[in-house]
């Protein structure tokens, strides 16, 4: 019976994650279809200054809820010569802020005064009805609404299934390892597989609500998840030009540097930092979402004045990699 229950709940959890990711993809794809041209023009024109680039990256990613999609768009611009790599870096920084919006929405699921799942179900049903429209824009809006609703329906399925794992010690250990470095590695690997830091941070909120993870552990998982989010862009840009591939390298480098900056104070003042987020956030679901947002915001503010040195660093690292590849092709 225990084995049967375990398998059933594991399948339900996988199904919940699938519904969540499908909803996220529906929203992202149809947002890009409706406003893709405008968003591309915004990205291309808002890079006259680093601050404008950050704002554009945050805005576009907040709308389409996919830092991967933003990174691919940027790589495409750079590959086509429509945008320089240096100009794209500040947009990458902004994209890391924009992608935290999903976690903020998901954190509302822990609000006892408002059932976000019920609201999401209503939005999904209304969106489903709109998909029968023959007008392309109405059809796309319907799919966006359907995707929005599926996100919260998927979360509810995950919530119900994950609750059953509270009694499985090995499951707890995966997310509550004593070593910060193992937690960072776990966050990186899980996000690299799922290819969505938004999904992983949302799952962390559900785990926290079910008592399977504490806030201290979630901080390190977030650090790893941010780095893992760049893996998909790295693979997708592999066939592109050297300059375009640097977009993916810059995304990962930005998050690695951010992790290195934040990790020492986190390890030294873990309890104090946790207390700060309890004070400003309240429930643990809000703590996780706010840490995800404030971490990316703080790292962006810290590194924004050093955009030029950062670009040179990525150029240097990328130059070594691409020079070696060129020599290998030439038989050198």
R_g of the chain, CA atoms, integer Å: 20
In a domain, 157, yes or no: yes
Top-confidence residue, 113 or 290: 290
Mean pLDDT (the chain, rounded): 81
SS3 81: coil
In a domain, 314, yes or no: yes
In a domain, 69, yes or no: yes
Number of domains in the chain: 1
Mean pLDDT score, 50-54: 86
pTM exceeds 0.85 for this model: no
* Dist CA 59 CA 75 (whole Å): 18
Top-confidence residue, 46 or 133: 133
* Dist CA 193 CA 297 (whole Å): 25
Tell me the CB-side half-sphere exposure of residue 243, using CA atoms within 13 A. Answer: 14
Give the total residue count for the chain. 332
Domain limits for position 253? 2-164+174-329
Question: Which of the given ranges, 32-41, 113-122, 290-299, has the highest pLDDT on average?
Answer: 290-299
Name 252's Cβ contacts closer than 8 Å, sequence gap at least 6.
Answer: 227, 230, 231, 234
In a domain, 169, yes or no: no
> What pLDDT score does 291 carry?
94
Q: Write out pLDDT tens, residues 178-189.
A: 788 989 998 898
Q: Is residue 315 within 8 Å of residue 246, measured between CB atoms?
A: yes
């Amino acid at each position: 019976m225990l084995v049967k229950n375990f398998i059933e709940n594991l399948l339900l959890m996988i199904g919940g994650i699938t519904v969540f990711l499908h909803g996220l993809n529906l929203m992202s794809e149809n947002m890009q279809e409706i406003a893709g041209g405008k968003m591309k023009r915004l990205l291309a024109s808002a890079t006259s200054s680093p601050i404008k680039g950050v704002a554009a990256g945050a805005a576009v990613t907040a709308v389409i809820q996919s830092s991967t999609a933003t990174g691919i768009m940027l790589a495409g611009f750079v590959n086509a010569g429509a945008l320089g790599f240096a100009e794209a870096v500040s947009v990458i920084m902004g994209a890391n802020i924009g992608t935290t919006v999903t976690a903020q929405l998901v954190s509302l699921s822990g609000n006892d005064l408002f059932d976000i799942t019920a609201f999401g179900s209503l939005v999904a049903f209304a969106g489903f009805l709109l998909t029968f429209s023959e007008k392309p824009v109405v059809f796309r809006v319907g799919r966006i609404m359907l995707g929005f609703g599926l996100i919260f329906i998927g979360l509810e399925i995950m919530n119900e299934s994950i609750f059953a794992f509270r009694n499985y010690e090995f499951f707890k250990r995966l997310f509550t390892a004593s070593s910060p470095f193992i937690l960072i590695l776990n966050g990186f690997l899980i996000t690299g597989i799922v290819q969505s830091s938004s999904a992983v941070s949302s799952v962390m909120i559900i785990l926290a609500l079910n008592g399977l993870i504490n806030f201290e552990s979630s901080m390190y998982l977030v650090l790893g998840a941010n780095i893992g989010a760049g893996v998909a862009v790295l693979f997708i840009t592999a066939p592109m030009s050297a300059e375009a591939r640097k977009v993916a390298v810059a995304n990962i480098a930005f998050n690695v540097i951010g992790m290195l900056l934040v990790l020492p104070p986190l390890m030294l003042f873990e309890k104090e930092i946790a207390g700060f987020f309890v004070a400003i956030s309240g429930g643990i679901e809000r703590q996780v979402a706010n840490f995800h947002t404030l971490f990316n915001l703080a790292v962006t503010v810290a590194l924004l004045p050093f955009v030029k040195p950062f670009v040179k660093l990525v150029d240097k690292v990328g130059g070594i990699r691409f020079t070696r590849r060129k020599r290998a092709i030439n038989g050198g």
